[in-house]
Structure 1
Amino acid sequence: MTRGSATVVLRRRLPLAVGGRGRPSWLPGWSRPAAMRAVRSTLVVPGLFAFGYLVLGDLQVATFAAFGGFATLVLASFGGRWQDKLRAHLGLALASSVLIVIGTAVNGSVLLASLMTVPVAFAVLFAGVAGPNAASGATAALLAYVLPAASPGTLAEVPARLGGWWLASVAGTAAVLLFSPRAPGFALREAAARCARALADQLDAALAGDSDPAVRTAVVEAKHELQTTFTSTPYRPTGLATPDQAMDSLVGLLEWCAYVIIDSVGEYRDLSAIPGVERKLLAETATVLREIGGLLDDGVVRVDLQPLERQLGESVEYLRRLNSDGDGYADAVHLSFHARTAAVAAHSAMTDALIAAHRADPSAVPGSRRRWYGETFETEALGERRLAGLVAAAGVVSRHASLRSVWFLNSVRGALALAAAVAVADLTGVEHGFWVVLGTLSVLRTSAAATGATALRALLGTVVGFVVGAVLLLVIGTGPGALWIALPIAVLVASYAPGALPFAAGQAAFTVVVSVLFNLLAPAGWEIGVVRIEDVALGCAVSFVVGMVFWPRGAASVVADDLADALRAGGAYLAESVDWALGLRTAEPQPGPAIAAGVRLDDALRGFLAEQGSKRLPKDDLWRLVAGTMRARLTAYSLAGLPNPEAGPDRFRTQLSEQAGQLAAWYDHLASRLDRTDHGAVPVLAPPEFRDPRAAGAEVDDLHCALWVGEHLRHLMGRLEELVPPAMLVADLRHRPWWR
């Protein structure tokens, strides 16, 4: 048995850009999901408009059917199983119905419409914290409100408007269910399954004495793939449902397990020579990890955690039987720490995998919820298990009801911007006030600089669309036959554009659709394009002004604040857990603040990376910071899972507690550099040195438990220095002028 002296440091690699050889970077590539979306929209939207206009002869039905179809098929992009998509589309239709009624009721008064827009828009935008489907449906739901709120109409027209929107909802939902690409959520499950199997392969190879570097490379690549899949979206790919929360937790546990296993294999070159009890524990860990992979692949897997639990107990008994004064005792505890940490992580990961696969014992769910949220849920006492979802939702809302939450700030900014746009559209008396509000909605970003850049692209795209539309109308004329032929083509391009073509191209395509659509309703020729340019320019100006006034730095400053919160909360949770594991604390550690801070940091960083021009910091450095806070939190969780010994303070335990306090102080010191108000130079921080209290002759009962605590601290301290450089970059970024 050999043990290396250095801790293996994992470095994430950025995914390689994919594209055709020789293709210019500005030229868009092929997107199958965008193509399927475009085909769905082309088949549905023109048909809905034709049915309402030509068959029913109702302009309200035709207009709301067309825009409702665009909202359902283009603006909303729901994922998950077909049942999840059906529920999401039903929820969007119901919410849109309420919003159409409210928008129609308030459009007669500028003051009432503007005031009502603030709570309505905030509620719709803030609901995105519930999960990816709620977030992706926010713009579609807002369209259902701003269309009637910024357009003339009376309550007598509500039935026709609702009829058109529900016509679009039914047809659009059917098209989505019948003709959709594979959901992104499955990609996350597949990546997690591959990571679990790769970890199992690594353990099996090490236990067999196989040191083939290709096995370790496969683990690193699988871990990177899992991280990339999980972090590639501007919001978390999991929702509030219990299986989604289990999947979210599983990703973090697999990353933690990968850190521990790769470090273990790096230190112990040949695991075949370790004591039999630890070898059996690692073998059972590999078995559980392989079963996780099969479970996530929807395979028929018989899961039995009792062998792993039995080996965990035998590992503890083995240490108790060893002579603590022997020369090899410290090495045995060190090995036991690696084996036990990997086994406990795999055990928790299997529990989450069972919940995610809808195969868990209901009695296991409450304990997992405490691990996810840091709170206790007494739902069974209330007699309704479904109340757990409501409690979870309330917990999410409370975590994000803070100026430290990018969701909260963006929701406030968006609500104020839309309210201002409604007021400006009414007060200026523009012909199509709806376009002003839609222009505001389409360009508002999380920072003033990103909003300004997007506004310029929107105006450029609108001008290009005006030119194309004007030329098209001059060539084909404004006759109904030619316009009906042009409408599906325009819808096809406009529906393909989001996410696949540059933003300006999408604006240009949508302008062409509007020109054709409104010329069918009331022939006006190319002049309709001029009106749209004016309205979009007005809406962009509103967005830019609101962006400058309210939090112009956007997510950049929020990331720094949330990172500071996550570091402080993680350090405090770690110190509490150390004292708990040492018997110096009787109250259980409270993980809630650390979990809440970690969630806010994850969301803020996703929003920051989604901004235009925010790539000034390498993405892998930013996610390294998130991983650092996660390691502190999961280390604390691992310590909190150790038994609380009935022992008074002694020299050994006191020194370990002091070192944990120093570590928490280091996190707090780093956090103070992130949320400081001065602009001075940031000093280089060094982590505290680890001291072995036994060297001073300290004695203690249950020495292996105390040494486990020391191993946790030593393992965590080895990764501190890699957090300093990216943290200093974030601290520097928040003090740059917002326009840079």
Structure 2
Amino acid sequence: MAKRLVMGSGTGTGGTARRHSRRKRDLHRLVRELRHGTSASAYTGRRAARVTLAAVTAFYLGLYGLHEPTTATYGLFAAVAMAGLSRIPGTGRQRAVVLVRLLPIGWLLVTAGTLLAVRTWTAAAGILVVGFLLAYSAVAGPRPAGASAGLQLLYILPCFPPYAPQALGERLGGTTLGFLLLVLAERLVLPDPPGVSYRALSADAAAIAARCASELARPPWTLSTGTEAEARSAGEALRPSRVPDAERPAGPGARERALAHTGMAARVLLARLQEVPAPGPRGPRPRAVALLHEVAASALRTSAALRTGRPADTERLRDALTVYLRQRTVTMPGEAPETIDAVLRRQAVLIEAAHAGVTLTSAVNLSVGRQPGPAEKRDGGFWYAGQGSARLWGHRLGAHLSPRSVHFQNAVRISLALAAARAVAGLDSLPHGFWAMLAVLTLTRTTAAQTGATVARALVGTLLGALVAAVMLVLVGENTTAYAAALPVIMSAAFWIGPTRGVGWAQGLFTLVVSVVFAQLAPATWQLAEFRFLDVLVGSSIGLVLGLLAWPRGAQGELRRAIAVLFRAIGSTVTSTAAVLTHGTTVEEDDLVPLRRALTLAESSFAQYQREPQHPGAAAVDWHAALIAGHHALRGARRLCSGRVPAEVRTSPWRHGLDTDSAVLAGRYERTGGLLEGAPRPLPAPPGAGRREPPAPPAPPLYYDAEAWLNTLSVDLDRVVAPTTGPAAEGGR
């Protein structure tokens, strides 16, 4: 009996030790994942730790250290606004810099909210203006867009009674305290692992393009299977949907525009090199091989410039291209006409690739700060080069000041909803009415369907959270020590579990957070939880109504309209460019403004579209291919119309074929645009271009250049509406 007791005791002790060891290993694994993991949960956990540390420290310093409840409140909500509600992309260092720059704006918003709280109508008018401006600032890129919601809260909090301008100093002090503690937390606490920059992705793409050009310049004069796969992968890596917001160049400044131009040019160069047809039995002409070698050398120099930040030489490739254009062979004695035709078509594709290489190098040099040279100033594609920041900002803001811009639509929707919530809260005297505006801010989405689904889950979560909070307030009573001990735990859970488990969890846990906070500021009863649910119900209802009234389809409907407009602009550009080549008309840069504007609005609609949930039955449309087609049309039209058109093109029988081909392609774009704008079902791939066989070659070289451009646009259009699956289908996700 004693022996069994001893053996049982040993077994129990060993089992406890093993369980303890297992828990210790699990804890170490969790800590390691939190510190170095790259999953969404790890990122959210690190952010939750930073916002909790900053917010709770500011709250405790203000309430228990300085004995200033106002300072404590504003310190806590400033940190929550800028790290919990906002989504500023980037590393900790980058976010800290953004926060320092936003602090004066935070002071201005707190001051405006404090002074305009004197009347309900002034507070509502203020949020109408402030809400629109802050939401519209999303046109400047991901960082202003990410900070917008948090800055809105800095106005919302002080714009409610009591009207207390004498407390402005304490409010500003608390806001400053919250900002500064958050800056320290972003810089020092659990830094996120660095991601791959857009510049590095572009450098990799340029290096692979150099390898492609080198392989095309030596036997067997074609790309190997491995290199072709790497080229496709490098091009896909530069898709906007594959690039994190923090790394995507989307700002209005010249360098950011040039970096975005760099990525586009790298994708075009890779695509053109993959399209170079194999030469005939005699192999490529020596001049073609020399041009390919120069394309490879230029791509390598470009890759090095992206990695070192030092400009690359653009003149060597530009000079080589000029020589090639001047010396390209038209007649080759002893060769059959069809052989000459194949050679000239291959030359046209090589010229397209070389032009893409020149564009890539010029864009890279502008992105690293080099002043534009004469060639860049003549190139309308680099219109932003040398422009001042104020002018570029004005251009970006003005380009989206239209009801057809999703940025404008979002700004109108959220500002009207916030103003309505402030008016209702003031007229009905809602207790803690700012919670209603906070619900509008956090639950309103860009589509009515998404808003409805979000509101339903949020109300369930808020109701459950309110019930738990009511029980807690009854049981704990006025024991502020218990609330103070619970606040860091509950807040960490709210900002870690909430974003990973969904909006219902987020609203329920945040209800507990605000209940614990306000219970420390003043004695609270279970009715505090009731007020919280009532305010969320009012705010979410207002957001839902405005979502139904103001552009309820969000970017999904707008993107179809924007691409339809873009395709009509492409069709018009195709016909006008062909008219220049065949009839001697002219195309000025101002004539391309409709295409540029359509491209701008389509790009902004596509950026928002990627953030919205897609319907399973939506047409499988590669929207990014449509944007690439717009860029191809723009650059090709500029290039073909930039020089003097030889008389042989305007007088030869080939011009009729060019007129026919351009008209057919323009018609395809216009018809496809009409289908995209009103198609109720998945779109089939369009029929082939139907271009007729040309007369016997050779034709003037410019004809082949134009045909290569038209063929590129035809391939782009096929990719837009071809049934696609997998990650390449931007519209099928």
TM tier, smaller: 0.7 to 0.9
User: After superposition, what is the alpha-carbon deviation per residue over 1:464-504, rounded to whole angstroms, capped at 9, x for unaligned?
Assistant: 33344445556666422222221112222233357544222
Which residue of 2 is the match for residue 403 of structure 1?
A: 403
SS in 2 for 1:181: coil
Q: Which amino acid aligns with 1:90?
A: V
User: After superposition, what is the alpha-carbon deviation per residue over 1:349-394, rounded to whole angstroms, capped at 9, x for unaligned?
Assistant: 1222222233x2344796399415xx577xxxxxxx6x62211122
**1:505: Cα distance to partner?**
2.1
User: After superposition, what is the alpha-carbon deviation per residue over 1:280-305, rounded to whole angstroms, capped at 9, x for unaligned?
Assistant: 21122122223333333x33767222
RMSD across aligned positions (CA): 3.4
Conserved 8 A contact 1:444-1:544: yes
2:186 pairs with 1:189:
no
**1:407: Cα distance to partner?**
0.8
State how far apart, in whole Å, the 1-side matches of 2:527 and 2:704 are.
79
2:331 pairs with 1:308:
no
Residues 660 and 613 from structure 1, CA distance in 2 versus in 1: closer, same or farther, beyond 3 angstroms? closer
**Greater Cα offset, 438-447 or 618-627:** 618-627
User: After superposition, what is the alpha-carbon deviation per residue over 1:562-601, rounded to whole angstroms, capped at 9, x for unaligned?
Assistant: 0111111222233333444557223434433222222221
Q: Which amino acid aligns with 1:252?
A: M
Which residue of 1 is the match for residue 16 of structure 2?
A: none
* Residues 572-611 of structure 1 aligned to structure 2 (within 5 Å): 572-581=572-581, 584-589=584-589, 590-611=591-612
Residues 469 and 356 from structure 1, CA distance in 2 versus in 1: closer, same or farther, beyond 3 angstroms? farther
Residues 535 and 235 from structure 1, CA distance in 2 versus in 1: closer, same or farther, beyond 3 angstroms? farther
SS in 1 for 2:238: helix
Which residue of 2 is the match for residue 720 of structure 1?
A: 717
State how far apart, in whole Å, the 1-side matches of 2:85 and 2:375 are.
35
SS in 2 for 1:591: helix
| Equivalent of 2:269 in 247, 257, 277 | 257
Which residue of 2 is the match for residue 9 of structure 1?
A: none
Conserved 8 A contact 1:469-1:515: yes
State how far apart, in whole Å, the 2-side matches of 1:600 and 1:606 are.
10
Which residue of 1 is the match for residue 46 of structure 2?
A: 36
State how far apart, in whole Å, the 2-side matches of 1:488 and 1:565 are.
52
User: After superposition, what is the alpha-carbon deviation per residue over 1:245-289, rounded to whole angstroms, capped at 9, x for unaligned?
Assistant: 11211222222222211122xx32799931121112112212222
**1:144: Cα distance to partner?**
0.9
Which residue of 1 is the match for residue 358 of structure 2?
A: 347
Which residue of 1 is the match for residue 495 of structure 2?
A: 495
Q: Which TM-score applies when normalising by structure 2?
A: 0.84
**1:654: Cα distance to partner?**
4.9
**Greater Cα offset, 651-660 or 36-45:** 651-660
Residues 255 and 538 from structure 1, CA distance in 2 versus in 1: closer, same or farther, beyond 3 angstroms? same
**Greater Cα offset, 708-717 or 28-37:** 28-37
**Greater Cα offset, 361-370 or 563-572:** 361-370
**1:548: Cα distance to partner?**
1.2
Question: How many residues are paired up?
Answer: 682
Which residue of 2 is the match for residue 112 of structure 1?
A: 122
2:675 pairs with 1:673:
yes
State how far apart, in whole Å, the 2-side matches of 1:412 and 1:86 are.
29
State how far apart, in whole Å, the 2-side matches of 1:143 and 1:619 are.
39
Conserved 8 A contact 1:571-1:665: yes
* Residues 281-680 of structure 1 aligned to structure 2 (within 5 Å): 281-296=291-306, 298-299=307-308, 303-319=312-328, 322-323=331-332, 327=337, 328-358=339-369, 360-363=370-373, 367=377, 370-371=380-381, 388-470=388-470, 473=473, 478-497=478-497, 499-581=499-581, 584-589=584-589, 590-614=591-615, 616-617=617-618, 621-641=622-642, 643-645=644-646, 649-650=650-651, 651-675=653-677
2:242 pairs with 1:246:
no
Q: Which amino acid aligns with 1:670?
A: T
Conserved 8 A contact 1:333-1:704: yes
Conserved 8 A contact 1:188-1:229: no
**1:102: Cα distance to partner?**
1.8
State how far apart, in whole Å, the 1-side matches of 2:441 and 2:140 are.
21
Residues 679 and 723 from structure 1, CA distance in 2 versus in 1: closer, same or farther, beyond 3 angstroms? closer
Which residue of 1 is the match for residue 213 of structure 2?
A: 203
State how far apart, in whole Å, the 2-side matches of 1:64 and 1:86 are.
19
Q: Which TM-score applies when normalising by structure 1?
A: 0.84
Residues 725 and 341 from structure 1, CA distance in 2 versus in 1: closer, same or farther, beyond 3 angstroms? closer
Which residue of 2 is the match for residue 212 of structure 1?
A: 224
Q: Which amino acid aligns with 1:626?
A: L
The structure showing larger relative contact order (alpha-carbon pairs under 8 Å, at least 6 residues apart) is: 1
Which residue of 1 is the match for residue 707 of structure 2?
A: 710
2:57 pairs with 1:47:
yes
**Greater Cα offset, 431-440 or 337-346:** 337-346
Structure 1 residues not aligned, in runs of 5+? 1-19, 21-27, 378-384, 728-733, 735-740
Q: Which amino acid aligns with 1:286?
A: A
**Greater Cα offset, 427-436 or 313-322:** 313-322
State how far apart, in whole Å, the 1-side matches of 2:187 and 2:122 are.
39
Structure 2 residues not aligned, in runs of 5+? 1-29, 31-37, 725-730
**1:217: Cα distance to partner?**
1.2
Residues 84 and 596 from structure 1, CA distance in 2 versus in 1: closer, same or farther, beyond 3 angstroms? farther
State how far apart, in whole Å, the 2-side matches of 1:319 and 1:217 are.
31
Residues 553 and 668 from structure 1, CA distance in 2 versus in 1: closer, same or farther, beyond 3 angstroms? same
SS in 2 for 1:610: coil
**Greater Cα offset, 616-625 or 125-134:** 616-625
**1:445: Cα distance to partner?**
0.9
State how far apart, in whole Å, the 2-side matches of 1:262 and 1:158 are.
64
State how far apart, in whole Å, the 2-side matches of 1:422 and 1:75 are.
19
